[in-house]
């Protein structure tokens, strides 16, 4: 996975399936942002942020919530609040906390993250049970269970809500705290028809991201008990995550809650369309999509994921290499059904060129 900034501008007309973070705010969202009432958030005086936090706390069934610049900061502040240095966090081996936050669990919270073997990002109560160390002066204290809904590297998979609550309950029975990374929780809500609070029920802290499928430019909201969010505020302040007139950003998030949740179903339909087309192409092995993330393996073409993505970009479509031969395409607000057909045409041209060269 490479997040290196590309110096060149994005070519005009590029169909950008690199991530669902690639959306630009819509005219309606920009209008809401322009109209936002604002104040000093650090002093609790930004009315738009206060409204957003109350709405997300309610949505997730928690007492309180806090606005933060990013989902990464939600995860890291949760680790800081739940754990002490030397504690152990358990989570799926390819979870975002472990693979995509720059080593922050070690650098900031001084915790170990022990990877759990998972199937498409999901693990079982037995896996949790087996990973929890008995209290001992030799062993690190297993302190926190972290789960992702949807599981990003798992394939955008949706935990069945019963299994999600069972792993959380297992952790709780052993005295662990629980944290839900809900970067794409609303995709799971739309795909499953189960309300967000049901997904978050077994978790002490949970958050949603507004810059993924929800299409806002900035912001994520972390929710939990009043006590935990109070403690989280100390870390927000310490890390420089407090806003001033951040209602400018929160207005985009409120707009997304009102206008961009139900439409996630369109992204899921586009993902299915893309997969149906890819499944017909020689050398490509697709994973069944559950939400807006499409993963496929290109080893059958003889190409690496990186080479495939470079060739595909030359054909006007950007996807991401997520491993040696695994490619990810994300559908989102800024791509259409027609873009899916165009993208499939581009993939066909890449494959035809490889066959000609062989």
Ligand X SMILES: *Cc1c(COP(=O)(O)O)cnc(C)c1O
Question: Which residues of the chain form contacts with ligand X (CB under 6 A)?
Answer: 70-72, 75, 96, 148, 152, 181, 183, 209, 211-212, 220
- Minimum CB–partner distance for residue 113 and ligand X (Å): 13
- Minimum CB–partner distance for residue 72 and ligand X (Å): 3
Measure the CA–CA gap between 129 and 131, rounded to whole angstroms. Answer: 6
With respect to ligand X, which residue has the nearer C-beta, 52 or 183? 183
CA 296 to chain centre: 19
3 φ, ψ (degrees, to nearest 5): -110, 20
- The residues near 337 (Cβ < 8 Å, ≥ 6 apart) are 269, 270, 273
CA angle 305, 208, 199 (to 5 degrees): 100
CA 125 to chain centre: 22
Distances (CA, A) of 178 to 82, 111, 201, 245: 9, 15, 10, 32
Query: Residue 304, CB half-sphere, CA atoms under 13 Å: how many?
Result: 8
- Minimum CB–partner distance for residue 137 and ligand X (Å): 34
- Minimum CB–partner distance for residue 253 and ligand X (Å): 12
- Minimum CB–partner distance for residue 209 and ligand X (Å): 5
With respect to ligand X, which residue has the nearer C-beta, 62 or 212? 212
With respect to ligand X, which residue has the nearer C-beta, 183 or 232? 183
Strand positions, DSSP E, 183-271: 205-209, 220-224
With respect to ligand X, which residue has the nearer C-beta, 73 or 248? 73
Nearest Cα to Cα of residue 163 among 115, 123, 136, 221: 123
- Strand partners for 320: 328
- Minimum CB–partner distance for residue 295 and ligand X (Å): 13
- Minimum CB–partner distance for residue 238 and ligand X (Å): 18
User: Structure tokens of 89?
Assistant: 């966090």
Distances (CA, A) of 149 to 25, 94, 196: 24, 13, 10
With respect to ligand X, which residue has the nearer C-beta, 71 or 277? 71
With respect to ligand X, which residue has the nearer C-beta, 115 or 300? 115
- Minimum CB–partner distance for residue 119 and ligand X (Å): 17
With respect to ligand X, which residue has the nearer C-beta, 205 or 301? 205
- Minimum CB–partner distance for residue 73 and ligand X (Å): 7
CA angle 268, 272, 273 (to 5 degrees): 115
Measure the CA–CA gap between 302 and 283, rounded to whole angstroms. Answer: 8
With respect to ligand X, which residue has the nearer C-beta, 170 or 187? 187
- The residues near 66 (Cβ < 8 Å, ≥ 6 apart) are 53, 221, 222, 223, 229, 232, 233, 236
Cβ-closest position to ligand X? 71
With respect to ligand X, which residue has the nearer C-beta, 183 or 303? 183
Check if the beta carbon of residue 330 is closer than 8 Å to that of residue 184: no
């Amino acid at each position: 996975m490479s997040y290196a900034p590309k110096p060149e501008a994005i070519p005009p007309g590029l169909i950008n399936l690199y991530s669902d973070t690639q959306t630009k705010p819509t005219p309606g969202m920009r209008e809401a942002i322009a109209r936002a009432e604002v104040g000093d958030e650090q002093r609790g005086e930004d009315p738009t942020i206060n409204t957003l936090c109350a709405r997300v706390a309610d949505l997730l069934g928690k007492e309180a919530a806090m606005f933060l610049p990013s989902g990464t900061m939600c995860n890291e502040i949760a680790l800081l609040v739940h754990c002490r240095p030397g504690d152990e966090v358990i989570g799926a081996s390819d979870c975002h906390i472990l693979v995509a936050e720059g080593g922050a669990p070690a650098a900031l919270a001084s915790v170990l993250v022990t990877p759990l073997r998972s199937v498409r990002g999901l693990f079982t109560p037995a896996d949790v049970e087996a990973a929890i160390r008995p209290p001992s002066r030799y062993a690190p204290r297993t302190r926190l269970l972290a789960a992702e809904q949807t599981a990003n590297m798992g394939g955008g998979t949706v935990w069945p809500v019963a299994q999600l609550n069972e792993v959380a309950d297992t952790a709780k029975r052993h005295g662990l705290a629980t944290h839900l990374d809900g970067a794409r929780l609303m995709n799971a809500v739309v795909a499953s028809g189960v309300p967000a609070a049901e997904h978050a029920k077994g978790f002490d802290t949970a958050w949603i991201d507004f810059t993924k499928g929800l299409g806002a430019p900035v912001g994520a909201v972390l929710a939990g008990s009043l006590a935990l969010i109070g403690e989280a505020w100390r870390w927000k302040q310490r890390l420089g995550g407090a806003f001033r007139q951040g209602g400018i950003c929160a207005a985009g998030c409120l707009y997304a809650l009102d206008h961009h949740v139900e439409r996630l179903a369109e992204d899921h339909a586009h993902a299915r369309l893309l997969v149906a087309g890819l499944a017909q192409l020689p050398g490509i092995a697709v994973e069944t999509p559950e939400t807006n993330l499409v993963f496929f393996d290109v080893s059958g073409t003889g190409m690496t994921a990186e080479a495939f993505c470079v060739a595909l970009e030359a054909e006007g479509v950007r996807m991401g290499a997520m491993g040696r031969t695994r490619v990810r395409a994300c559908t989102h607000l800024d791509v259409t059904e027609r873009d899916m057909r165009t993208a499939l045409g581009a993939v066909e041209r890449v494959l035809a060129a490889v066959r000609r060269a062989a």
